[in-house]
Amino acid sequence: MRYLRSMACIAALLAAIPALAAAEPRPGDPDSKPDAARFDPNYPDMKEWASAGVRGGIPLRDTLKVVKTIKPGDDLQAAIDAAAKEFAASADPKKPEADKPVVVLLSTGTHSIRKAIELRSGVVLRGQNKELAVIENTLRSTKLSPAAFTVRADKVRLAGIEDLTLRHEEVARLGLAVYAERVAGPKNNPNGVKDLHVGGVEIEDSEDCWLDNVNILHSGSHPLDAAGRRITVRDVLIDGAFNKGEEGSPAGSGNVYFSVTGGLFYNNTVKNTRHCLVIRDTLSGGDCKFNVMLDCNFQGDVNYHGNRKDSGRNLFEGVFVRSLTSHGWPAWAYWKREEIGLGNLAYKSIGWGGSNADKFESTKPDVVYTFTGIRDPNILAPVEKPAPTAGTLYAVTATRPTRPESLGTWPKNPGEARDMMLKRMIASPIK
């Protein structure tokens, strides 16, 4: 009996180990939920920000069914279309919140494509290894269009891209040394190459979609153009855009767009683009509001680029933006000052550089700043309210190892800010 009791105790301990060892949820996970205890009535938008991103969170990897594994040379689009039919057959229109997407798994290797991959509702495109499962685009185009992206998600729901690398074959062959920005106001078509107006990922009028643990490298034009509702972009490295000139879309070429309602942009690194992040409503009239940009690292600028005034009430928390003097824009930039939406806030975020006159302003960690009335270079206006009582404007039950506070004392000058930013940046395979 004593032996049986001992074995029962051991069994109970072993059963408890997974629960004890389970990782805490991160922002964007299913178990990351609004934490009402940390809401501050001075900042009512906290309730919206706490719900940003894919509703229900990005599904955990082991909870989804792999319906097809693709090898290099296989028909990727056909596999996606077949998976979409399988999802549609199991979806319940009366309980869409219970729907579970299915996975098309890309084995390691280079998957070469000659036209845009169309992602469908309920399909997750996942690589076996982020660095080794590569979708390589060979498409050439003299003008960026919906057909000239590597992957598109147009009017879809519950679709994702995970654990893989996207790149353009010819841009990667030319290499960053050939096309990297060296001076302000670069031109399109460097070295006379006119047919590399090819983007990375386009999400258009879609909802509850995501990019998670993805590299978007060596794009021909816009690496990411996201528009829709409840989109999450997490742990994504964006490095390199061949065309960064003023021609093209209203904000020029080679930008990252996040024209989303209720989106989450967490722990992403963006570099070697024209604008690291463009904040504005879509040209078709979709709102850009209630988005959370959290713990991101931008080597370039964040740009409120008018043409469509953003709808405001977007949050930047724990975001570091370093603009090189040669880049041509300050870190916090705009096209028309009066067309910056109301209620856009920055907290525990730093924007510096882009001008020799920058005095490292608007960087106190105990002050909330607003972009309304921004002055050059990088001077934001303090909000006339005390800082949030819980020390965050993003009140969720999630762990954030990427928070600036977790990496040391708050930076007091550009050099210290650069060092902290380098600690957090996702390492790029591009040298």
Length of the chain: 431
Q: Beta strands of 208-291 (E only): which ranges?
A: 210-219, 224-229, 232-241, 256-261, 264-266, 269-271, 277-279
Distance of CA 379 to the CA centre of its chain: 25
pLDDT at 22: 53
Cα–Cα distance measured from residue 115 to residue 140, given in angstroms and rounded to the nearest whole number: 9
pLDDT at 177: 87
Which value, to the nearest 10 degrees, does the dihedral of the CA atoms of residues 153, 279, 137, 232 take?
-50
Peptide bond between residue 388 and the one before it cis (omega within 30 degrees of 0): no
Token pair of 49, please? 């920000």
C-beta of residue 130 within 8 angstroms of C-beta of residue 165? yes
pLDDT at 13: 36
pLDDT at 202: 98
Q: What is the pLDDT along the chain (431 residues), one digit of tens a residue?
A: 443 344 344 344 333 333 334 578 999 999 999 999 999 999 999 999 999 999 999 999 999 999 999 999 999 999 999 999 999 999 888 888 889 999 999 999 999 999 999 999 999 999 999 999 999 999 999 999 999 999 999 999 999 999 999 999 999 999 998 888 777 678 899 989 999 999 999 999 999 999 999 999 999 999 999 999 999 999 999 999 999 998 878 889 999 999 999 999 999 999 999 999 999 999 888 999 999 999 999 999 999 987 789 999 999 999 999 999 888 899 999 998 999 999 999 999 999 999 888 889 999 999 999 999 899 899 999 999 999 999 999 999 999 999 999 999 999 999 999 999 999 999 999 98
382-383-386 Cα angle (round to 5): 110
The DSSP symbol for 107 reads P
pLDDT at 308: 85
Half-sphere CA count of 400, side-chain side, radius 13 A: 22
Q: Show me where the domains of the chain are located.
A: 24-424
H-run or E-run covering 68: strand 65-70
Q: Which residues are CB-neighbours of 18 under 8 A, at least 6 positions away?
A: none
Cα–Cα distance measured from residue 369 to residue 371, given in angstroms and rounded to the nearest whole number: 7
CATH architecture classification, 24-424: 3 Solenoid (2.160)
Cα–Cα distance measured from residue 111 to residue 113, given in angstroms and rounded to the nearest whole number: 7
C-beta of residue 305 within 8 angstroms of C-beta of residue 334? yes
- The secondary structure of the chain, three-state, reads CHHHHHHHHHHHHHHHHHHHHCCCCCCCCCCCCECHHHCCCCCCCHHHHCCCCCCCCCCCHHHCEEEEEECCCCCHHHHHHHHHHHHHHHCCCCCHHHCCCEEEEECCEEEEECCCEECCCCEEEEECCCCCEEEEECCCECCCCHHHEEEEEECCECCEEEEEEEEEHHHHHHCHHHHCCCCCCCCCCHHHCCCECCEEEEEEEEECCEEEEEEEEEECCCCEEEEEECCEEEEEEEEEECCCCCCCECCECCCEEEEEECCEEECCEEECCCCCEEECCCCCCCCCECCEEECCEEECCEEECCCCCCCECCEEECCEEEECHHHCCCCEEECCHHHCCCCCEEECCEEEECCCCCCCCCCCCCCEEEEEEEECCCEEEECCCCCCCCCCCCCECCCCCCCHHHHCCCCCCHHHHHHHHHHHCCCCCCC
pLDDT at 12: 42
